Amino acid sequence: MIRIAEIESGSIADELHLEIGTRILRINGQRVRDGIDLTFLLADDFLELETIAPDGNCTVHEIEREPGETLGVIPAPDKIRECGNKCVFCFIDGNPQNVRDTLWIRDDDFRLSFTYGTYVTLTNLGDKGLQRLVDQKISPLYVSVHATDPDLRVRLLVNDRAGLIVEQLEFLLGNGLNVHTQVVLCPEWNDREHLDQTMRELYSLGEGILSLSVVPVGLTKYNTGVVRPLSVNEAELAIKQIEMHRQIAQEERGYGWVYAADELYLAAKKSFPADNYYDDGALTENGVGAVNQFVKDFEAGLGELPELPNRRIRVITGTSMEKLFLERQQALHEKTGANIEIIGVVNKFYGDTVTVAGLLAGQDIRDQVGETQEDEIILLPADALNADDLLIDSMSLHDLKKSLAPAEVRTGYELTECLKDIDG
């Protein structure tokens, strides 16, 4: 069952005097297990709603509504399905003790995969769970495959059910669902001939496998030992292997299908591919083409920047993007007249192997920015903050701003958009 967290004013639920905290048990006789069920079952125009109020009173509401008219209930968040794997490369095992609380959640929830595009392993779904995906047409899904060889996948995920992945994918595809897939590449585990096998076998499953992203394993200073990072040569080899399979896909299907993530190009110390490498850009939010999108946004926004003569602006980023920012520093100065400094913050909280801006700790930013001036602006990447304005080390944006006073601190996703908002 689900619990009502909010009720929209003037809605059907408001007119029925439903209360916050009311639980919805069944809709049209069917059990409501979670928010996904609620969304599907509310599609009918005639509803028989069985509820239990906070005082325990059970009521059946018969509702007839106009097409498109909403019920007006917002459910409480579902309890997250946690991961039953013990992956040899698990990033959560590399968390420091004082990391944000939510970073300890080992989610492996198909609902989050469907809603937000997060990757799941399917190991916590039995036959009934897979059938539910089919019945409700929960597609596309994002699935972390890592290896199609059953024994290897069992060793990687440390879960006896992990070896069922090909059969699970065949069932989903055979029932009309589409799937984006992913490999986290671990040297001496699932690389080289194993990577070729995985690419070949996933491609052979048909066009229902929409894509395959290959991502290098990400490790912190706390979880080294079982798996190590890729060397430059290993990353280069993986990109060459991917290119061979891309050529086949281009010839047979008209698009690349398999993609090296941005981090793999960084690990190989290679230039990023052209814009057409990423086809429709569907995987940008998952780190495939995010750098390319940054470059496009920068070029599109550069001409609209205001004049900011002699303004002192310091731009915070992770070390992986520092070079790209530095390459554009002069263009920013020439266009705005501002004195712009790029600070690639070294991640001491996780270790310097973690280079992305989204995992920057407040304490590292504070320490590496140092003294500030009253007339300067510090631009923080919005990705470093969660919805509650907490950085990865649980430092609040408010506290970080205090520590960087008297400078003004601003946040944003796109560099040029942030600069456009500055008053010259």
CATH number at residue 179: 3.80.30
| CATH number, residue 379 | 3.40.50
pTM: 0.86
Q: Report which DSSP code applies to 370.
A: -
Listed as ranges, residues in the chain with pLDDT below 70 are 424
Q: So what's the pLDDT on residue 424?
A: 56
CA–CA dist 344, 341 (Å, integer) = 10
Q: So what's the pLDDT on residue 413?
A: 85
End position of a domain, from candidates 243, 268, 288? 288
Q: So what's the pLDDT on residue 115?
A: 72
End position of a domain, from candidates 288, 305, 327? 288
CA–CA dist 296, 278 (Å, integer) = 13
Q: For 358-377, b where at least 16 C-beta lie within 10 A, e where not — what string?
A: ebbbbbbbbeebeebeeebb
CA–CA dist 239, 243 (Å, integer) = 6
Q: What is the domain extent for residue 34?
A: 2-75
Q: So what's the pLDDT on residue 84?
A: 86
Q: How many domains does the chain have?
A: 3
Q: Is 138 inside a domain boundary?
A: yes
- Are 284 and 290 spatial neighbours (Cβ–Cβ below 8 Å)? yes
Are 124 and 240 in a shared domain? yes
